[in-house]
Structures are given as structure tokens and as C-alpha cells.
Amino acid sequence: MLLLRTTQRSVLRPQVIQIYSFLKSTSSTTPRFSIPILSRTIVTSPHLRISSIPAETPTPISPPSEAPPTVQSDPAPTAHNSLSLLTALNAQPSKYIMVKIQGFTFLVTTGDKVVLPFLLKDVRVGDTLRLTHATTLGSRDYTMKGNPYIDERLFECRATIIEETAEPLRKKEKKKRRTRRTKTVKSKHRYSVLIIKELVINDVPPALATAAGSSTPR
Amino acid sequence: MSWFKITLIRSGIGMTERQNNVLKALGLRHRMKTVYHPVSPDTAGMIMKVKELLTVSEVDKPLTQAEIHAKRQPPKGYYVEKQGVVREDIEGS
């Protein structure tokens, strides 16, 4: 679980580079991450606009005119010895995190309202939750992937339950052919709504830094 | 004492009455169900009758149904850090 890898943009796989090229070309529109994960009614906050990011932010990336490298096999991501790229990730103005709540993945940032597809039974409205299981931590130029999760000591993600709501009542009529009997099934599923209050990346603890330094890259 | 860990991989639908009775005796009600039986000639004979439908391994310790279920659950992913304030003027709080 301590084996963590930070990948720079230049060594990412081609299909991921494609996504970043898309982001770079449409600088005037709100970015929509086209990552195929299950996410429900996420309302992204306006501070994610690319135009608000200052131009003097150092971006160690290849120019978009360069053709994506044709690779026969997947290039191995660099296992950075001292996790120093994490400070570079932290220095960027906006960050996102992919958290897993009861097995469901959500890509969120601070200020996002997340409507969970279920009701959390052991919490009340107003409670502050600390989200512990993160698969990815990223910013515009850096992505940190967990194996399978990122160490809990490296980040703090807090969310507040703001609502316990329900969908509108829906009725399903079930009827067999050549019969008059109709069965009606009612559904009114209940959902919990969270708001992500903060996403903080901590300094790397010394024990973790030495462990990452001694581990060999795959 | 060692135990057989038996998992039903192929369904009993379409199988003979005898095979389905063996599955019933083993406690395998549906696909992907896992049961633990002590290693004995009786259990071995039952497994041999329906061996094409099962995955069997030998383990030291059997798990209870509750333990099997708990292993399947994904991690909660959160813990309550601070409880919200209880307001008396709101119903249901």
C-alpha cells in the first residue's frame, strides 16, 4: 500500500495525453474531465476555469503540436524517489480527488455538491465526514495514482452532509399479456447529498518518504 | 482439522435431480455461494458427484456467513469526524 507513483505528463499513456490536449485547445470553456467513472450530478464550482490559471505557472509539458508517441507497450511511470512532485501538485491552484464511498467513485474538488445514489444510514444531516479512500489525486499537470488507494496521511478531504432527499415518486405498472390484472410498484429512493468542504494535501511524512525512496519502480 | 472451501461456480439449472439434491445437501443455494465443510469421505463423495460445478480448496479455518459477507463489502470510505448540531426546532433531527 506504500508503493505510490507520481506521473509527469510527458510519460503518460497516449490516450491520457489526448484528454489533456483537448483541455488545452478549449481554453475558453469550462473543462469537463472525460474520465469514464460513475459520477452523479456533480456541480463543479466556477474556479475550475482554465482562463483563471495564471500564465506564469510553470508547466513542464510537451507542446500540443507534437504527435503522441506510438508505443508498442505501456511506458512504465516513474516512481519518484522523494515524492517531491507532490509539492508541485500542491502548488497548482486547483486540485481534484477521486474518492470512493461504499465502492462508488466520485471525482470531486472543493465546493462540489455530490448526490450519492444511496442514503447514508449511520450519519445525520450536518455531520462532517472525513473521506479516507482516494484512488487518484490530481491537478492540471500532475496525477497521483494510488495502489489501489493513496496513503491517508497525504491528504485531508472533508465533506458535510447537507441534505437527505428523495427522488419523485415513480410508479411502474407490471402487466402480463392476455390478463387483466395490473400490478403497480412504487419507488421513492432516498439519497444523501454531500458538499466537499476542503481538500488539503499534507507534507509527506518522513517514514513515507524513506519507504518510497527505497522501493524500486515497476 | 482441515476444511473444504466449496464455491458454486456453475448453476444447477438444467442439471439432474440427483445433482441438485447434492447441491442442496451441501448448502449451495445459488451461484457464487461459498460454504465450508469438514474434510471427510462423505463430503468428498458429495463433491465428486457435482465436481464440474464447483471450485474447491482446502483451508484451515472456516468462515461464518457473516464473515464471508463482511469480506465482500467495499470499504465505507469515510468516518464521522464531527457531529452536526442537533436543533430542537426542526422535526426529525
What is the secondary structure of A79-130 as a DSSP string?
Answer: --TT-THHHHHHHSS-EEEEEEETTEEEEE-TT-EEE-SS--TT--TT-EEE
Which domain covers residue B61, as residue numbers? Answer: 3-71
pLDDT of residue A205: 81
Asked if residue B84 belongs to a domain, the reply is no
- B93 falls within a domain: no
Query: pTM for this one?
Result: 0.66
pLDDT above 90 (res A185)? yes
Considering only CB atoms, B78 lies closest to which of A103, A125, A131, namely A131
Residue B1 has pLDDT above 70, yes or no: yes
pLDDT at position B51 is 97
Q: Is B92 on the interface with A (CB under 8 A)?
A: no
Residues of B in contact with A102 (CB under 8 A): 74, 76-77
pLDDT value, residue A18: 38
B57 touches chain A (CB under 8 A): no
How many domains is chain B built from? 1
Higher-pLDDT residue of A8 and A176 is A176
pLDDT category, A73, cuts 50, 70, 90?
low
Chain A nearest-CA distance from B76, in A, is 5
Dihedral sign for Cα atoms in the order A146, A152, A158, A159 = positive
Which of A78-92, A101-115, B31-45 shows the lowest per-residue confidence on average (mean pLDDT)?
A78-92
Q: Is B83–A127 a contact, with Cβ atoms under 8 angstroms apart?
A: yes
Answer whether residue B12 is part of any domain: yes
Contact A129 B78 (CB under 8 A): yes
Inter-chain residue contact A125 with B84, CB threshold 8 Å: yes
Q: One-letter amino acid identity for A19?
A: I
**Model pLDDT for residues A112-167, shown as the tens digit of each residue:** 999 999 999 999 999 999 999 999 999 999 999 998 999 999 999 999 999 999 99
Lowest mean pLDDT among A21-30, A72-81, A118-127, A130-139: A21-30
CA-nearest residue to A160 within chain B is B84
Contacting residues of B for A101, CB less than 8 Å apart:
76-78
* CATH number of B15's domain: 3.30.1390.20
pLDDT at A16 over 80: no
Residue B29 lies in a domain: yes
Strands (E), A13-103: 95-101
Q: Does B64 touch chain A (CB under 8 A)?
A: no
Q: What is the pLDDT of residue A74?
A: 57
Is residue B18 in a domain? yes
Query: How many angstroms separate the CA atoms of B46 and B50, rounded?
Result: 7
Rg (CA), chain A: 21
Average pLDDT, chain B: 94
Q: CB count, 10 Å around CB of A44?
A: 18
B45 in any annotated domain: yes
Cβ-Cβ contacts under 8 Å, B79 against chain A: 129-130, 132
The lowest-confidence range among A85-89, A103-107, A197-201, B83-87 is B83-87
ipTM above 0.95, yes or no: no
Q: Which residue has the higher pLDDT, B57 or A40?
A: B57
Contact B80 A129 (CB under 8 A): yes
The answer to the question of residue B15 being in a domain is yes
| B64 lies in some domain | yes
pLDDT-derived band at A80 (thresholds 50, 70, 90) equals low
Q: A27 vs B53, which has greater pLDDT?
A: B53
Nearest CA in chain A to B76: A102
Give the count of beta carbons closer than 10 Å to the beta carbon of residue B2. 11
Q: How many CA atoms lie within 13 A of A177 on its CB side?
A: 0
Tally of CA atoms within 13 A in the half-sphere of A115 that contains its CB: 10
**Across all residues in chain A, what is the average pLDDT?**
74
Q: Tell whether B71 is within 8 A of chain A (Cβ).
A: no
